[in-house]
Amino acid sequence: MNWLVTGDKTRGYTFAYDGLSRITSANYLENGSASNNYKVPFITYDKHGNIKSLERWGKTSSGSTFAAVDVLTMEHEGNQLKTVYEAGTNVLISESYDFKSYKDSVAEYLYNANGSMTKDLNKGI
């Protein structure tokens, strides 16, 4: 996948998949060359196909270095997400898309009897 903004570098991602067609990593590209700046070095899954862990790199709060800004471990009950643990580095931009864990609750995601999510305590929904 590639994109180009006029006057800037061509950017893109390449993806790797496992035998079940699940994405397992993504590499960021600048002008067709791999860059460690915004990579996703791994995504792992449980036996039900739920994401179990994920690491994502971005610009850190130091402003000139890139590191793991999201090091996420997901806990599920059956196929329902229960909690996400975050161990990443602080990011430079407060509006960034990194995961922000606002709650340290045993169950951060709540569901009704039909299995529909009714609360996401991290997003205040």
Write out pLDDT tens, residues 57-77.
887 777 678 888 889 999 999
pLDDT for position 22: 97
pLDDT digits (tens, 9 = 90+) for 91-124: 655 545 556 565 566 678 888 999 888 988 877 7
Q: Which residues contact 56 (CB under 8 A, 6 or more apart)?
A: 38, 39, 40, 68, 69, 70, 72, 88, 98
Q: Give domain limits for the chain.
A: 2-120
CA distance 111 to 94: 29
Q: Specify the residue for token string 């196909």.
A: 49
Amino acid identity of residue 117, one-letter, is M
- pLDDT at residue 45 tops 90: yes
- Name the average pLDDT for the chain: 84
DSSP code of 45? Answer: E
Amino acid identity of residue 75, one-letter, is E
pTM above 0.75, yes or no: no
CATH number of 2-120: 2.40.128
pLDDT for position 95: 47
pLDDT for position 89: 65
Identify the sign of the CA torsion 95, 82, 74, 18. Answer: negative
- pLDDT at residue 20 tops 80: yes
